[in-house]
């Protein structure tokens, strides 16, 4: 489904971060990327989500090269295929939880039927993640664990085929981290969403079907 081919990325101040790195992602995979702080996990996630460009190498998605997409093509690719969960939930403070979740849907045109199907799907996700009672609350009035679950639902609102989660449990206590891990697994098994996550938590990583270590700019099993 997604093939990262010989990607390299350097930053002037830091030098080589990703060094001729390759990764093949099969539909339905759940992949944990581990590695010390500064090893390049976020850089790699940003490149997969086309938020950043590699210096060299290619990214093949469903048979087509996407590494040199222009900004609008990248935005389309993201809207249609990628959901992001970040370490900090990044919910917008002036929008209710419900409006935060529905926001990504505004980026694409939908028919009435599609919208009602989406609403039903999002309702289901909110129930599954235990946040349906919070829909009219604002982000500063809910807990970190609840906000992180809301950001998971937001990431899934557009029915992405790939969920990129960068330290999705980084700001959560053990109980909430565990709950988030279980939810990610459920999304993977029930909805077939491919998951790529970066984490320092071996507990979370162990829930995924593959664990890769980012070391010296390369991924090692
Ligand atoms: N935009 C940038 N400009 C310059 N250097 C950068 C930039 N982004 C990342 N770096 C550097 O690249 C290296 C890798 O950073 P990255 O954020 O990918 O690491 P990470 O593995 O995600 O670390 P952490 O576990 O702390 O989140 C770091 O040394 C960082 O300082
Ligand atoms: Mg990071």
Q: Describe the chain by its helix, strand, coil percentages, rounded to 5.
A: 40, 25, 35
Segment among 106-110, 157-161, 164-168, 203-207 with least mean pLDDT: 106-110
Structural domain range at position 25: 2-220
pLDDT band, very low/low/confident/very high, at 105 (cuts 50, 70, 90): confident
The alpha carbon of 38 and the centre of ligand 1 are apart by a number of angstroms equal to 5
| Pairing of the two strands 15-25 and 2-11 | antiparallel
Ion ligand 2: residues, CB < 5 A: 41-42
Provide the CA 168 distance to its chain's centre, in angstroms: 9
Q: Quote the number of domains for the chain.
A: 1
- Position 104 scores a pLDDT of 82
Protein residues whose CB sits closer than 6 Å to any atom of ligand 1: 11, 13-14, 17, 35, 37-43
Structure tokens at 111: 């028919």
Structure tokens at 196: 């790529």
CATH classification of the domain holding 57: 3.40.50.300
How confident is the model over 2-60, as pLDDT tens digits?
999 999 999 999 999 999 999 999 999 999 999 999 999 999 999 999 999 999 999 99
- Position 108 scores a pLDDT of 75
CA–CA separation, 30 and 166 (whole Å):
13
178-200 b/e (C-beta count within 10 Å ≥ 16 → b): bbbbebbbebbeeeebbbbbbbe
Which is nearest to 97 in space by CA: 137, 144, 69? 137
- Position 107 scores a pLDDT of 75
- What Cα–Cα distance (Å) separates residue 10 from each residue in 14, 41, 50, 165? 7, 13, 16, 22
- Position 164 scores a pLDDT of 96
List all residues 6 or more positions away from 128 whose beta carbon is below 8 Å from its beta carbon: 183, 186
How confident is the model over 126-166, as pLDDT tens digits?
998 889 999 999 999 999 889 999 999 999 998 899 999 99
The alpha carbon of 39 and the centre of ligand 1 are apart by a number of angstroms equal to 7
CA–CA separation, 207 and 202 (whole Å):
9
């Amino acid at each position: 489904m997604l093939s990262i081919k010989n990607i390299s990325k350097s930053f002037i101040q830091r030098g080589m971060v990703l060094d001729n790195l390759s990764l093949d992602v099969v539909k339905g995979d759940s992949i944990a990327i581990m590695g010390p702080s500064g090893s390049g996990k976020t850089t790699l996630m940003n490149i997969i989500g086309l938020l950043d460009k590699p210096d060299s190498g290619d990214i093949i998605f469903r048979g087509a090269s996407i590494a040199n997409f222009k900004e609008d093509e990248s935005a389309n690719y993201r809207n249609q295929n990628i959901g992001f969960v970040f370490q900090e939930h990044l919910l917008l403070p002036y929008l209710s939880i419900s409006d935060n979740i529905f926001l990504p849907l505004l980026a694409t045109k939908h028919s009435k039927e599609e919208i009602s199907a989406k609403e039903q799907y999002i309702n289901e996700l909110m129930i599954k993640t235990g946040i349906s009672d919070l829909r009219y609350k604002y982000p500063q009035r809910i807990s970190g664990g609840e906000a992180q679950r809301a950001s998971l639902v937001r990431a899934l609102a557009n029915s992405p085929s790939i969920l990129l989660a960068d330290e999705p449990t980084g700001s959560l206590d053990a109980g909430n981290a565990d709950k988030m891990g279980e939810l990610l697994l459920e999304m993977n098994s029930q909805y077939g969403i491919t998951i790529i996550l970066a984490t320092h938590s071996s507990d979370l990583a162990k829930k995924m079907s593959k664990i890769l270590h980012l070391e010296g700019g390369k991924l090692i099993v």
